[in-house]
Every structure is written in C-alpha cells, then in structure tokens.
Amino acid sequence: MPDVSNLELAGRQIAAARQYTQTLLDGLDDADWFRHPADSPTHIAWQVGHLAMAEYGLCLFRIRGRRPEDLELMPGKFRKQFSRGSTPSPDPASYPAPVEIRRVFDTIHDRAMQEINRFDPDALNEKIEQPYAVFDTKLGALFFCAHHEMLHAGQIGLIRRLMGKPPIR
C-alpha cells in the first residue's frame, strides 16, 4: 500500500464500512426495517438511524463543532431518537419512514466524506471533550467511526439472518 496520511486512511475505512453496510440494506423492504425478530432488542431502522447520528457526531461535530446548517442535516429530534442509550421502539409510527432515515443516513455520510478531505491534518491530534468512546483525539474519533459502523453492521447482518434473509456473500 502506498504511503497515505492518517486522515486519508480514516476516510478510506469510513467509506469501506459504509459500503459494507449498504450491501446489508440492499433488497430490504420498508416492513423489514421495523421487524423485531424473536429475541432481538432492536431493528434495522434504529441501527441505521443510530449510525447516521453517530457519524454526524464523530466525523462532523467532534471535528469542527456544531454549525447552524447541521439542523438541516440532522434535526434534534432525530438525533435524540437514535442516540446512544435510546431504546428501540417496535412501533414504526414512532419513527420517520425508512426513506427519511435512509436520506439522513446518506446525507450525513456524503457531507462527512466531503469535509474529511478538507480537515486540517495538524488539528487532528487535538483532544476532544468527554464523553468519547475509545479515542480522545479528533483523529481517533474518525477512526472509531469506521469501527462503530462495522459493529452495527454486524447487528444489521444478524437481524437479517433472524428474519430469514440469506447471508451476504
């Protein structure tokens, strides 16, 4: 592999994790998003909404702070509904439609990938405020974004299998 910056490597890992998650979402219909298979405490809608909220937090908010236009990217209600510690509701009426969750999910990712390319590499070693999950720097937040997405992709994959969907090959 050619010599790449940590920033470029983090961006590649985030993009690869998202590509994998997308394969898990392909072919699902709207009803699949809210199915709670037996013994599953969650559903795909919550997982995807949570990934959107987390990517905003890790790749945008933690790096450059909150901006007024961010409310258009992710309304406060959406952020709270899918934040860490929230409990997935089995009632689809309590959530935005899958198309809206997917729109936020895709829009946040597109914005994060655009902005990652503009981040000042020298600023990425700056510490971030608690709470943080694993890493206490801005660069660490970017790397954790990819790890976090893969963790939830695994949960989406398990939910798919519990619904009787074939494995992704």
- What pLDDT, in 10s, does the model give residues 49-87? 999 999 999 999 999 999 999 999 999 899 999 999 899
pTM of the model: 0.94
- What pLDDT, in 10s, does the model give residues 87-125? 999 899 999 999 999 999 999 999 999 999 899 988 999
Q: Where are the alpha helices (DSSP H) in 2-117?
A: 6-25, 30-33, 44-55, 62-64, 70-73, 76-81, 98-116
Task: Provide the β-strand partners of residue 137.
Answer: 127
CA distance linking residue 153 with residue 70, whole number of Å:
25
* Domain residue limits, the chain: 6-162
- On the 0-12 / 13-18 / 19+ scale of CB atoms within 10 A, 86 is middle
Look up the CATH number of domain 6-162: 1.20.120.450
Which amino acid belongs to residue 150? M
Closest Cα to residue 82, out of 53, 112, 56? 53
